Amino acid sequence: MFGRGRLGAGADEKDPEPDLSPMIDCVFILLIFFIVTAVFVEEDGVPLPLPEDSAAVSTVTEQTTVVFTVSQQNVIENDGRRISLDQVANIVRTALNKDSEAPIIIQSHPRAHHGVRTRVYDEVRKAGAETVTFTQA
């Protein structure tokens, strides 16, 4: 009975939809404008303490590091010299007197007896070393 819009328009025609492309263009232009005019503030971060020169650190570490080597034949060595188990504690005490935080390293061959490694470790701990590092030779 009553028609929609134009005279003689059929019921199968769709309703007209607005054209959104000009609005999308305006949104993109505004977005570009705000990005270009925005002020980027560079905030200061947390200051990080940087490590010292690696050459200076390595010379101190080389002088104070104590390395015990347990060979495949269960021979204990320190600085290339063969030592007995009784000498381990004295060497560690001497190093700890020079530097209380001297690193102690026990290098052992994979086929060395576990008991020898354990006895070297026990002597190092008796001498007062807090931390001991194990490595493979």
Residue 135 has pLDDT above 50, yes or no: yes
pLDDT digits (tens, 9 = 90+) for 4-44: 555 555 555 678 888 888 999 999 999 999 998 988 777 77
- The share of the chain scoring above pLDDT 70, in percent, equals 82
- Whole-prediction pTM value? 0.54
Name the residue with higher pLDDT: 132 or 48: 132
- Cα–Cα distance between 85 and 57 in angstroms, integer? 30
Label residue 129 exposed, middle or buried (CB < 10 Å: 0-12, 13-18, 19+): buried
**How much is the pLDDT for 61?**
47
- In the chain, the domains with their CATH numbers are 54-136 (3.30.420.270)
Residue 9 neighbours by CB distance under 10 Å: 10
**How much is the pLDDT for 11?**
54
